[in-house]
Amino acid sequence: MWNAISNVGDAALTLPLAMACAVWLRLSDPTLARRWLFLLSIGTALVGASKVLYAGCGISISAIGFRVISGHTMLATSVWTVVLALVFQAAGASIWKASGVGLVVGALTAMARVLDNAHAVSEVVAGWTVGATVGILFIGTLGRSQTKLFRPLAAAGTLFLITSLAYGHHAPIQRLIDEHSHYLCARTA
């Protein structure tokens, strides 16, 4: 069961959803699309940096059991918060209520990662915090923008299709980090 919940945060699902949101936003308001991609890039860079530092350089904070920022948790929290807010806004509902649901999805993903022994509590708390910050900062901008979203029914259908096709697949990002990060750390030593 926890693996099924954990899949909600896999990059194989969340990154295509994030890119679909970026395209939808680009067609609606290019400034919002840039803001979304900028914020998500910061979140993913923080996750990636923590993973490279641990896998390649062995840097961790053993006192709190912290090795890396949970990517599944960060992506689930940020992406689902934005996906749901966009769909709710298109339907004329509260983006803040939708955001709350997205934050809960992220929290459930965090719990699944801990119960699957994939991460320590400190790692999922960091992932949820980064993801929530990314999502809430974007939702604040979206709420102030008063943007009318482009073809909301088609966009929502696309998001549903992506979810249907990508759920359960696994991106090989962690394997790539494990294989190549030691080269990055060796160059800086």
Fill in the amino acid letter for 5: I
Does residue 189 have a pLDDT over 70?
no
Distance CA 38, CA 35 (A): 5
Say if pTM beats, i.e. exceeds, 0.85: yes
Q: Which residues pair with 61 in a beta bridge?
A: 66
pLDDT digit string (tens) for 28-79? 999 999 999 999 999 999 999 999 999 888 888 988 889 999 999 999 999 9
Does residue 172 have a pLDDT over 90?
no
Q: Compute the half-sphere exposure of residue 80: CA atoms within 13 Å on the CB side of its CA.
A: 26
The number of distinct structural domains making up the chain is: 1
Q: Please report the DSSP string for 84-116 in residue order.
A: HHHHHHHTT--HHHHHHHHHHHHHHHHHHHHHT
Distance CA 13, CA 146 (A): 28
Site of tokens 């979140």:
43
Structural domain containing residue 117: 2-188
pLDDT digit string (tens) for 77-133? 999 999 999 999 999 899 999 999 999 999 999 999 999 999 999 999 999 999 999
